[in-house]
Structure 1
Amino acid sequence: MKQVEIIVLSGFLGAGKTTLLQRLLEHEKEQGRKIGVVMNEMGNVSIDSDAVPNDTPLQELLNGCVCCTLSDKLEIKLAGLVQDHDLDAIYIETTGIAHPVDVLHASLSPMLANRLNIKSVITLLDSVTWQKRDTLNVQMRQLISEQVKHADLVLLNKIDSVSADDKQAIEAEIRALNPDGNIVPTTFARVDPTELTAARKKVTRDHIKLHAADQLHIKTFVYTFSKPIDEEQFESFLRDMPDSIYRIKGYLRFQEGKTLLFQYSYGMPVYQPADLKYTNTLVFIGDQLDHDALHHAMRELEQQKQA
């Protein structure tokens, strides 16, 4: 019986997992392989799934983390992909606060034991976030270390943002945590795809269980704008918003008429042109988010008139 490979894409919020997934899907298509994707979002609105080509079988897990609250549903999604499509591999893109070992455990279903081959865990690590991890709470620092520790391959992303000495220090820290995994420095998740597809699973070490809902206190907040907002006022909101917001992603339409894919992580906003058809919705991910305060702030943005 043909086995379908499982590749887990791990990494903290904003590391670049979706960009990496796009590059891998392009490579797999060039190789003539048939690929399925499972995408997990902490919020109840899917944003990153727009990056997956329409001809790629896709299953989504929303409003929770696949390593804990949605672990039972992962089996159902994987079974659907395996039974409905003749696939060579399935990529599981986790949330930024998922523990890769728990994702692997959730994938090891007795129902699918003979159909799946757990191939590898690829962790994408943001070099700048790693350097600034002391600014995170204890649980978050522990999670990032766990994501590195249990990877078969660590992609050290955004390496152009650190000095040569810092790069060497980061690689030494990664090697201390994960002496068996491979380390590949990169920028914009650009890497030879054959290095990633060749990665193989090693023996899983003991791991610390860290769940989004309890130990990590991660929450999400979703807001859909009823009309365009002022770009300058939105930038002002970003400058003043609380540090407890780790990640924002979604679509925005400014009063100037531009519709943009928006992503934010650790002080770095990124805007990209987007199709006008997308709903103007933002998903916030953070630690103990104040939903009332965020709702009030978004309503104020809607009520602002362009100067």
Structure 2
Amino acid sequence: MIPVYVLSGFLGSGKTTLLSNMLKYLQLNGKRPAVIMNEIGDVNLDGLLINDEVPVAEMLNGCICCTMREDLSSTLLNLYRRVKPDIIIIESTGIANPLELIEGITNATLEADIELRLVTTVVSAPHFLALAHRERGKSLRLIKEQIRCADLILLNKTDQLTTEYINEVKNMLEKLNQHVKIIETVRCEIDMGLMFNSIHRESEHYDQNEQQHPSIEKTNEHSQHHTHNHVMTYTHRFNGVVDREKFEKLFSKIPTEVYRAKGVVKFAQDQEYYLFQFAYREIEIVKINPQQSVEPVAVFIGEHFDKNQIQRSIQELTNIN
């Protein structure tokens, strides 16, 4: 049986960092992994961070757990038959409800020798704490569903909170999922031996013939309707180089309704390509050396923000005197 690992977690929690760490570990240990990546927008930027040797199937322009659920089953089967990998990792978009994603995987297990092995949810400790203190909001409800579906939780970015606040978050997580294993991390650094060996659910916990993952059992009492209809995206393709100073200032005053952005830009100062990640009001910019043709682009994700305002602000960046 080829094991399938699911990476869940809200936008900007650290899933892609975890994926990169997993792939490095697997390749160092002689394994042949394959990846399915889902983006709510029409561009797969996280794929630029993956080694060219790793087969990647992209699922764009939709959420893997609802509008693309049937596509997930067929994509999984095609990858299984075409590549015959040792392990398949699915990185879902940050607004996916893993419960419905699990159903899509289950359909594929009826036709191929694959099994869902582990659902890992990455939780940004400071972001979850901030949302929980507000005690309401669609984003909080979605994150709670992602927590309830998890076999393993990586409580990430713990370096940004005091011990008191970390313990408060852990208590909330344990109330939402009494059986989950919680590991505190910074930049999703974890002993991969734990992920791939000791944390797996024992097979006797559920009937393999029924192909039902324990996560389904423990969440079926919760509402299964989609909780992310409020999320919207805007994709902007740059028509020239960008002034770096103006670019960084843009994100210092971007509307609070935009809680995630990422993309590739080419700065006028050095004519080099950079990958940027924006989450929780912080931006990270890293120089990249693409081995393939790259289109400078930015993807913005948020709740009911003004797309026209974002478009105008972005266009001003390329008006360099």
- TM-score bin (small chain): over 0.9
Q: How far off is 1:110 after superposition?
A: 5.6
Aligned mates of 2:242, 2:135 — CA distance in 1:
31
Letter of the structure 2 residue corresponding to residue 268 of structure 1: E
Cα-to-partner distance string for 1:265-302 (whole Å, 9 max, x where unaligned): 01010011112653211111111232222222211221
Q: Which residue number in structure 1 is paired with residue 93 of structure 2? A: 95
- Pair 132,216 (structure 1): closer, same or farther in 2 beyond 3 Å: farther
Task: Confirm or deny that 1:303 pairs with 2:316.
Answer: no
Q: How far off is 1:193 after superposition?
A: 0.4
Aligned mates of 1:152, 1:131 — CA distance in 2:
21
Q: Which residue number in structure 1 is paired with residue 169 of structure 2? A: 170
CA contact (8 A) 1:6 1:116 kept: yes
2:318 is paired with a residue whose SS is helix
Q: Which residue number in structure 1 is paired with residue 13 of structure 2? A: 15
Letter of the structure 2 residue corresponding to residue 287 of structure 1: E
Q: Which residue number in structure 2 is paired with residue 211 of structure 1? A: 226
Q: How far off is 1:210 after superposition?
A: 4.9
CA contact (8 A) 1:228 1:253 kept: yes
Q: How far off is 1:249 after superposition?
A: 0.6
CA contact (8 A) 1:146 1:208 kept: no
Equivalent in 288, 291, 309 of residue 274 of structure 1:
288
Structure 1 segment 60-99 matched on structure 2, within 5 A: 60-99=58-97
CA contact (8 A) 1:221 1:289 kept: no
Q: Which residue number in structure 2 is paired with residue 37 of structure 1? A: 35
- Pair 298,137 (structure 1): closer, same or farther in 2 beyond 3 Å: farther
CA contact (8 A) 2:99 2:215 kept: no
- Pair 136,271 (structure 1): closer, same or farther in 2 beyond 3 Å: farther
- Pair 203,211 (structure 1): closer, same or farther in 2 beyond 3 Å: closer
Task: Confirm or deny that 1:247 pairs with 2:260.
Answer: yes
RMSD between aligned alpha carbons? 1.8
- Pair 136,91 (structure 1): closer, same or farther in 2 beyond 3 Å: farther
- Pair 48,210 (structure 1): closer, same or farther in 2 beyond 3 Å: farther
Cα-to-partner distance string for 1:133-170 (whole Å, 9 max, x where unaligned): 15596211101111112110000111111001111111
Cα-to-partner distance string for 1:160-189 (whole Å, 9 max, x where unaligned): 110011111111111111110100001011
Aligned mates of 2:249, 2:31 — CA distance in 1:
46
Segments of structure 2 that go 5 or more residues without pairing to the other structure are: 202-213
Letter of the structure 2 residue corresponding to residue 300 of structure 1: E
Aligned mates of 1:285, 1:171 — CA distance in 2:
27
> Identity over the aligned pairs, expressed in percent?
30
Segments of structure 1 that go 5 or more residues without pairing to the other structure are: none
TM-score, reference length from structure 1: 0.92
Q: Which residue number in structure 2 is paired with residue 225 of structure 1? A: 238
Count of residue pairs brought into register by the alignment: 301
Q: Which residue number in structure 2 is paired with residue 260 of structure 1? A: 274
Structure 1 segment 73-152 matched on structure 2, within 5 A: 73-109=71-107, 112-133=110-131, 134=133, 138-152=137-151
Aligned mates of 1:89, 1:178 — CA distance in 2:
26
Aligned mates of 2:67, 2:296 — CA distance in 1:
27
Cα-to-partner distance string for 1:233-281 (whole Å, 9 max, x where unaligned): 2222212221111111111122212421100001010011112653211
TM-score, reference length from structure 2: 0.89
Letter of the structure 2 residue corresponding to residue 164 of structure 1: T
Aligned mates of 1:208, 1:88 — CA distance in 2:
34
CA contact (8 A) 1:252 1:259 kept: yes
Stretch moving more, 175-184 or 228-237: 228-237
- Pair 110,268 (structure 1): closer, same or farther in 2 beyond 3 Å: closer
